């Protein structure tokens, strides 16, 4: 067949290994890591799903090579640990049996050992080792590695590489970026040594080259070694792209693939993991420049999820391989869809950081748009229901759409009713905000799935008890969502006020001087958008903090954007909306006018309880999902909708 994206789909041979395409799964840490560092069965299933989805490589992350100096709660490959080799073997096999090459990331976190520990207090009692004596920003003392310890760590890379090959891994990625130990030696930000490992770039590269030589000795010729590096650290006192090129040239003789990432630990999270506020592929230029100076294949990554963009990257010679992390959580089958010319079916990553925030909060995984993530052992195959039933879904927001799609896949007759003239629910409001386009597109993708599975979509149709009775359904899924809170505050219903949910319909009403009333997640993101458009934006919030409803990964990056574009007033209680702004009361009881000729009302949402109560007893099986049950997140709406359909 003729491939729509031939360069993405083209095989690549490196050493004695042929990869089936140029779409690789980036290193992502597992979750059920045992106390002694073995790969748990949930993590094995987590990695296998991306292999089944068609990626050319799945990289298992991270295997810490020297527990003596790096006690991070991550994977270890150690013959003295019962089941260590067995767990790694089962994982490599789970990846390989789908035609995908299993790769293992070898790492050492150096002075940031313990980063992955759930109990962060234990980091204080650990020995932290780095290239130089220092004290971390959090007060933890770091000791400089001795030559004897350096030699021991280098030897451990060799020993672990031998075991990884024995376990069935067919490529190794050596992590030399993001502020981990090898990067700490490469970087003048961390490396203050005065011996043969410090000072000149040649000396700073010495440790990386010793590690790569040791790994080659362990795995032998023809076995691909990939070196992951930051093309630039993007921090003061770190190295820039010009020096990144020099580093790449120095390590090139010892590697088969150069994997060019970006940034350094803690300081550049939003660069290393590009947020929705940045361009897709914002780090590709680093790989593009480095590729001009080396002859080995170069890999790139950074918020990539659009096949046309990825095809252009490879076709134009900017890189030879594209890596995806979050994009393959959102849709593990993205590579197979591209290979089959079905890219319109790709579920795009929202770059919302739910996946990373959940890991930080609960040591599990979850994805906003994919209810399988973190629960892969439950299976990714939808089996037909033993008894086919008639199902009615009330409300075509994200939860209702996914519930209807899932119920139809089980073979049920499904009717999806939406009382407005288009599907999407609250996601419709995102179409006016460029950096949230993937959220708006999500509803269109889910709608496509519903149509493919012959869901009977009925727009401009409100579901009432009488309607349910008339249709004689066996099951009812209530997904009627929520409505915006608009309290009876003087002036809040005036002509100069736009409810945030309706902004996409009333953009022309918003002047160049705007007050956003409400500093939750929706209000903050709308304020950022208005500021990006060049408007003068004030944000009023009664609480002392902004967006406590935002997750722990997204919120800091969002607040940085707020600082760029918005004047913030926290601790302000709104008293009256006027033509020239909002009259507020500050914490001292003073009345203050926050100026603006337009007001965006973003005071939150309230479940449509009356609709829920009216429908609660309308069918034999009733499930209430999403905001109709509890004002929450897209994540919960999709997850609850998926399982409500499975329960029928």
Confidence at residue 117, expressed as pLDDT on a 0 to 100 scale: 60
Q: Is 12 helix (H, G, I), strand (E, B) or coil?
A: strand
Give the orientation angle of helix 398-409 with respect to helix 437-452, to 10 degrees: 30
Q: 195 phi and psi, to 5 degrees? A: -100, -155
Q: Which residues contact 119 (CB under 8 A, 6 or more apart)?
A: none
CA distances from 69 to 84, 143, 172, 295 (A): 19, 10, 21, 35
H-state helical runs in 472-592: 521-532, 554-565
Mean pLDDT on 328-356: 98
Residues in the chain: 648
Express as a percent the part of the chain with pLDDT over 90: 93
Closest by CA position to 248, among listed 261, 264, 235, 238: 261
Give the SS3 label for residue 19.
strand
Residue 122 has pLDDT above 70, yes or no: no
Q: List the one residue out of 140, 117, 116, 144 whose CA is nearest residue 129.
A: 144
Question: Which residues lie across from 258 on neighbouring strands?
Answer: 227, 298
The span from the CA of 23 to the CA of 337, in Å, is: 12
Looking at residue 382, its pLDDT comes to 95
What value does the mean pLDDT take over residues 558-586?
A: 98
In 315-439, beta strands by DSSP E? 321-324, 390-394, 413-417
Place of tokens 């987590």: 46
Q: Give the pLDDT score at 123.
A: 60
The token duo for 23 is 């779409």
Residue owning tokens 């030589």: 213
Do residues 128 and 141 touch, judged by C-beta distance below 8 A?
A: yes
Q: Name, in order, each residue with C-beta under 8 angstroms of 606's C-beta and a sequence gap of 6 or more.
A: 482, 483, 484, 485, 631
How far apart, in whole angstroms, are the C-alpha atoms of residue 549 and residue 530?
A: 20
Pairing of strands 141-144, 134-135: antiparallel
Report the C-alpha gap between 235 and 256 in whole angstroms: 28
The C-alpha atoms of residue 628 and residue 49 are separated, in whole angstroms, by 31
Banded model confidence at residue 115, pLDDT cuts 50, 70, 90: low
Burial string for 215-246 (b: 16+ CB within 10 Å, else e) reads bbebbeeebbbbbbbbbbbbbeebbebebbbe
pLDDT band (50, 70, 90) for residue 120? low
Q: Is the pLDDT of residue 121 over 90?
A: no
**Global confidence as pTM:** 0.96
Question: Residues near 453 by Cβ (< 8 Å), separated by ≥ 6?
Answer: 405, 408, 409, 414
| pLDDT tens, position by position, 231-289 | 999 999 999 999 999 999 999 999 999 999 999 988 999 999 999 999 999 999 999 99
Q: Is the pLDDT of residue 119 over 80?
A: no
Question: What tokens were used for 380?
Answer: 């990714």
CATH code for 497-603?
A: 3.50.50.60
Give the residue-averaged pLDDT of 8-16.
Answer: 98
The verdict on whether omega for the bond into residue 311 sits within 30 degrees of 0, i.e. cis, is no
Taking the C-alpha atoms of residue 337 and residue 227, their distance in angstroms, rounded to an integer, is 29
Distance CA 320, CA 257 (A): 9
CB-CB contact of 592 with 584 (8 Å):
yes
- pLDDT band (50, 70, 90) for residue 126: low
Q: Is the pLDDT of residue 527 over 60?
A: yes
Four-point Cα dihedral 253, 259, 262, 264, nearest 10? -70
- Domain range annotation of the chain: 6-378, 390-484+607-646, 497-603
Strands lying side by side in the sheet with 128-130: 128-130, 141-144, 134-135
Measured in degrees and rounded to the nearest 5, phi and psi for residue 483 equal -125, 150
pLDDT tens digits for 614-625? 999 999 999 999
Beta strands in 481-580 (DSSP E): 482-484, 497-499, 513-517, 536-541, 566-570, 573-578
Q: What is the pLDDT of residues 400-424, one digit of tens each?
A: 999 999 999 999 999 999 999 999 9
Tell me: pLDDT of 291 over 70. yes
**Residue 128, pLDDT score:** 86
- What are the Cα distances from residue 233, in Å, to 260, 280, 329? 11, 19, 26
How confident is the model over 438-464, as a mean pLDDT?
Answer: 98
Instruction: Kindly give, in sequence order, each residue whose CB lies less than 8 Å from that of residue 536, ignoring residues fewer than 6 positions away.
Output: 512, 513, 514, 567, 596
Q: Is the pLDDT of residue 39 over 90?
A: yes
Look at residue 116 in the predicted model and tell me its pLDDT: 61
Q: Do residues 93 and 165 touch, judged by C-beta distance below 8 A?
A: no
For residues 585 and 591, is the Cβ–Cβ distance under 8 A?
yes
For the cut 60, the answer to whether the pLDDT of residue 118 exceeds it is no
Q: For the residues 146-175, what does the mean pLDDT come to?
A: 98
Place of tokens 């965006």: 600
Mean pLDDT of 311-322: 98
Tokens of 176: 């030399």
Number of helical H runs and strand E runs in the chain: 21, 28
- State the pLDDT confidence band at 196, using cuts at 50, 70 and 90: very high
Strand 475-478 vs strand 390-394: parallel, antiparallel, or unpaired? parallel
- Write out the CATH class of domain 390-484+607-646: alpha beta
As a CATH number, domain 6-378 is: 3.20.20.70
What is the secondary structure of 261-292 as a DSSP string?
Answer: E---TTT-HHHHTT-TTS-TTTTHHHHHHHHT
Q: What is the DSSP string of 102-154?
A: EEEEEE--GGGTTTT-SSGGGGGGSPEEESS-EE-TTS-EEEEPPHHHHHHHH
Can you spell out the DSSP letters for 415-448?
EEE-SSSSS-GGGGGGGG-GGGHHHHHHHHHHHH
State residue 491's pLDDT score. Answer: 97
125-147 per-residue burial string, b: 16 or more CB within 10 A, e: under 16: eeebbbbbebeeeeebebebbee
């Amino acid at each position: 067949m003729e491939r729509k994206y031939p360069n993405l789909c083209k095989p690549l041979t490196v050493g004695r290994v042929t990869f089936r395409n140029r779409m690789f799964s980036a290193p992502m840490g597992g979750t059920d890591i045992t106390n002694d560092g073995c790969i748990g069965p949930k993590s094995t299933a987590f990695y296998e799903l991306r292999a089944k989805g068609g990626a050319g490589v799945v990289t298992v992350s991270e295997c810490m090579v020297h527990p003596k100096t790096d006690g991070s709660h991550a994977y270890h490959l150690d013959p003295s640990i019962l089941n260590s080799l067995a767990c790694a073997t089962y994982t490599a096999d789970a990846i390989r049996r789908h035609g995908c090459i299993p790769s293992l990331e070898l790492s050492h976190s150096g002075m940031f050992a313990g980063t992955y520990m759930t109990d962060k207090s234990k980091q204080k009692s650990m020995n932290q080792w780095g290239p130089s004596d220092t004290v971390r920003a959090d007060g933890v003392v770091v000791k400089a590695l001795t030559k004897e310890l350096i030699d021991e760590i280098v030897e451990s890379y060799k020993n672990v590489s031998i075991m990884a090959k024995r376990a069935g891994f067919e490529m190794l990625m050596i992590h030399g970026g993001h502020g981990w130990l090898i990067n700490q030696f490469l970087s003048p930000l961390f490396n203050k040594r005065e011996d043969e490992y410090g000072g000149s770039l040649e000396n700073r590269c010495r440790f990386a080259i010793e590690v790569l030589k040791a790994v080659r000795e362990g795995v032998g010729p023809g076995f691909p070694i990939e070196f992951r590096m930051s093309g630039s650290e993007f921090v003061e006192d770190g190295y820039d792209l010009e020096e990144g090129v020099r580093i790449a040239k120095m390590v090139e003789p010892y590697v088969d693939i150069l994997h060019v990432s970006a940034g350094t630990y803690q300081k550049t999270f939003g660069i290393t993991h590009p947020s929705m506020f940045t361009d897709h592929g914002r780090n590709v230029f680093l790989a593009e420049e480095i590729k001009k100076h080396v002859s080995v294949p170069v890999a790139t990554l950074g918020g990539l999820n659009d096949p046309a963009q990825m095809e252009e990257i490879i076709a134009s010679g900017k890189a030879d391989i594209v890596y995806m992390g979050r994009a393959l959580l959102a849709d593990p089958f993205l590579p197979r869809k591209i290979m089959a010319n079905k890219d319109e079916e790709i579920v795009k990553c929202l770059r919302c950081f739910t996946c990373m925030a959940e890991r930080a909060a609960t040591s599990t995984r979850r994805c906003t748009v994919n209810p399988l993530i973190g629960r892969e052992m439950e299976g990714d195959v939808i089996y037909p229901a033993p008894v086919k039933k008639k199902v009615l879904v009330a409300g075509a927001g994200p939860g209702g759409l996914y519930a209807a799609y899932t119920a139809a896949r089980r073979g049920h007759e499904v009717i999806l009713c939406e009382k407005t003239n288009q599907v999407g629910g609250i996601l419709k409001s995102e179409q006016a905000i460029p950096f949230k386009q993937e959220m708006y597109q999500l509803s269109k993708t889910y709608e496509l799935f519903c149509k493919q599975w012959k869901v009977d979509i009925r727009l401009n149709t409100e579901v009432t008890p009488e309607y349910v009775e008339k249709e004689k359904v066996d099951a009812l899924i209530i997904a009627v969502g929520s409505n915006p809170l608009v309290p009876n505050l003087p002036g809040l219903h005036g002509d100069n006020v736009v409810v945030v949910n309706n902004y996409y319909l009333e953009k022309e009403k918003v002047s160049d001087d705007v007050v956003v009333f409400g500093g939750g997640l929706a209000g903050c993101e709308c304020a950022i958008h208005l500021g990006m458009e060049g408007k003068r934006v004030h944000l009023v919030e009664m609480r002392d903090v902004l967006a406590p409803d935002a997750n722990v990964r997204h919120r800091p990056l969002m607040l940085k954007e707020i600082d760029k574009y918005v004047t913030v007033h926290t601790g302000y209680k709104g008293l009256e909306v006027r033509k020239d702004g909002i009259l507020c009361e500050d914490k001292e009881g003073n009345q203050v006018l926050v100026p603006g000729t337009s007001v965006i009302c973003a005071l939150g949402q309230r479940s449509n309880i009356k609709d829920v109560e009216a429908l609660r007893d309308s069918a034999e099986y009733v499930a209430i999902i999403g905001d109709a049950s509890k004002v929450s997140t897209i994540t919960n709406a999709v997850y609850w909708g998926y399982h409500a359909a499975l329960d029928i």
